[in-house]
Chain A
Amino acid sequence: MSLLVNKVAIVGDEIHVPISSDADIVIARQQGRALAERIGFTGSSLAVVATAISEVARNIIEYAKRGEIVLKGVNQGGRQGLTVMARDQGPGIPDIALAMQDGYSTAKGLGLGLPGARRLMDEFEIISKVGRGTTVTMKKWVR
């Protein structure tokens, strides 16, 4: 599978993937998968990480039209991990608690992959302000 790398920017030790079309979702998750592999993730964790990235990247498009995914390897107390940040300057989420409820997203079919992404990753944090935008930060550690 070829890696599409045209739009990706490396900033220091971070990988920035601009998200503005559905093709970018594929780029983001391929980059995420590649980085995860370099960090030491194996087997199904790769698919899990890639899926989580896909969900939050899609969330950006559906909710904010454009945004950015930032990928970075982290090292904490000897543990290796991967951080994924999904940020946009979209409308923001008025009721985060509601959006994080499982039934809400699946029933409405809004494709809000947030609760799903949270299940896939080890750490999950979301900050959103109406009118300003949303930033989701999630982490997964190599076992």
Chain B
Amino acid sequence: MRSNEGRLTDSAVQPSSESTSGLLQELVAHLRENRTQLREDWARRITESGLLTAMTREEIFAEATAVYDNYVTVLETGSVEALEAYARDLSERIIPRGVEVHELLGIVLLLRDVLARSLFVKYQSKLPLLSRVLDVYEPAANGIATTVAVGFVQERERIIRQQQEAIRELSTPVLQVRERLLILPIIGVIDPQRARQITEQLLRGIRANRAKVVVIDITGVPTVDSTVANHMVQTVDASRLMGATVIVTGLSSEIAQTLVTIGVDLSRMRTVGDLQGGIEEAERLLGYKVIREKTEEEPEEEPEATI
């Protein structure tokens, strides 16, 4: 440990090592010794700059304290993992409060400036040494700024992905119409990603609703390529692993052709012409008695609702 702690003046000859690690240690010691002053300078600069308007002064100070100490530790150890974790953590906390990346980067850069200035002061009469100290300080400080900004952006991307996932889920409802029966109407063109997401949603739905029968209606799907067809088969198989029986309805002859072409054994899959038929089949499987009056429209049957 160095014996010249607490000395801000540089007139005394510092027995500092000329090596990089020696300079680093000296730099870190300086930053630690003067942390109170430097943190205050920083907090003041943040306020002056008008950044972090979304946070209160107390919050700013609390975060500033933690960031300062982590900053110095990272300079000292070069441990980017700790900083990455912290940056991610910080982002998780401030993004919901509306803090923007330029604000976060702004305050980290202000800290960099505040610390750099204190180095200028410390080594002002020893420019060659200052130059070497800056050689050590600058890359480390810039690395930290980059890491924090990248951490922020990644966290934001993660949140956006989550939101997109939620939106996708909303657009593919898994409907429970009866006890133990789920209906999944699929409409539109399905790309592999959507197919995957539909499968995941259905399987979770089977668990949540304790479904024994699932009717997947693809009347509204115009075409299906072999990748998606494979997904469909996988969906059926996965549902069966969860103990559910799958009925596919609305299978056009074109899609049936695609399935046959990729080698799907259609006899393995329960298929019914239309959704109505599929639901009846499902009800039969579930043990509901389906009573159908014979053939023509009965007079006592309810007329179609016109509302």
- A/B: CB atoms within 8 Å of each other: yes
Report yes or no: A40 in contact with B193, Cβ–Cβ below 8 A.
no
Partner of B193, one of A42, A80, A143: A143
Residues of B within 8 A of A6 (CB): none
Residues of B within 8 A of A80 (CB): 154
Q: Does A77 contact B (CB under 8 A)?
A: no
As a 0/1 sequence over residues 68 to 102 of chain B, the CB contacts with chain A under 8 angstroms (1 = contact) are 00000000000001000000000000000000000
Tally of contact residues, B, Cβ under 8 A: 9
Report yes or no: B200 in contact with A43, Cβ–Cβ below 8 A.
yes
Closest to A40 in B: B158
Q: How far is the CB of B146 from chain A (nearest CB, A)?
A: 13
Which residues, 185 to 217 on B, are CB-close (under 8 Å) to A? Answer: 193, 200, 203
Q: Does A76 contact B (CB under 8 A)?
A: no
Residues of A within 8 A of B157 (CB): 78
Tally of contact residues, A, Cβ under 8 A: 9
A143 to B200 Cα, complex, angstroms: 14
Residues of A within 8 A of B161 (CB): 40, 142-143
Interface of B is mostly: helix
A80 to B157 Cα, complex, angstroms: 11
A13 to B203 Cα, complex, angstroms: 35
Residues of B within 8 A of A142 (CB): 161
Residues of A within 8 A of B203 (CB): 44
As a 0/1 sequence over residues 48 to 70 of chain A, the CB contacts with chain B under 8 angstroms (1 = contact) are 00000000000000000000000
As a 0/1 sequence over residues 32 to 49 of chain A, the CB contacts with chain B under 8 angstroms (1 = contact) are 000000001011100000
Q: How far is the CB of B225 from chain A (nearest CB, A)?
A: 17
Report yes or no: A44 in contact with B158, Cβ–Cβ below 8 A.
no
Closest to B150 in A: A75
Which residues, 160 to 206 on B, are CB-close (under 8 Å) to A? Answer: 161, 165, 193, 200, 203
A142 to B164 Cα, complex, angstroms: 13
A78 to B161 Cα, complex, angstroms: 13
Closest to B165 in A: A42
Report yes or no: B193 in contact with A44, Cβ–Cβ below 8 A.
no
Q: How far is the CB of B37 from chain A (nearest CB, A)?
A: 36
Which residues, 134 to 157 on B, are CB-close (under 8 Å) to A? Answer: 154, 157
A21 to B126 Cα, complex, angstroms: 61
Report yes or no: B154 in contact with A44, Cβ–Cβ below 8 A.
no
A43 to B197 Cα, complex, angstroms: 10
A42 to B169 Cα, complex, angstroms: 15
Closest to A44 in B: B200
Residues of B within 8 A of A44 (CB): 200, 203
Q: How far is the CB of A14 from chain B (nearest CB, A)?
A: 12
Q: How far is the CB of A118 from chain B (nearest CB, A)?
A: 15
Residues of A within 8 A of B81 (CB): 13
A43 to B161 Cα, complex, angstroms: 13
Residues of B within 8 A of A40 (CB): 154, 158, 161
Residues of B within 8 A of A43 (CB): 200
Closest to B155 in A: A40
Q: List 6 A-B contacts (CB under 8 A).
A: A40-B154, A40-B158, A44-B203, A78-B157, A80-B154, A142-B161
Q: Which residues of B contact A (CB under 8 A)?
A: 81, 154, 157-158, 161, 165, 193, 200, 203
Task: Knowing that A40-B161, A42-B165, A143-B161 touch, tell me 6 more A-B residue pairs with CB under 8 angstroms.
Answer: A13-B81, A40-B154, A44-B200, A80-B154, A142-B161, A143-B193
Cβ-closest 5 pairs across A and B = A44-B200, A40-B158, A43-B200, A143-B193, A80-B154
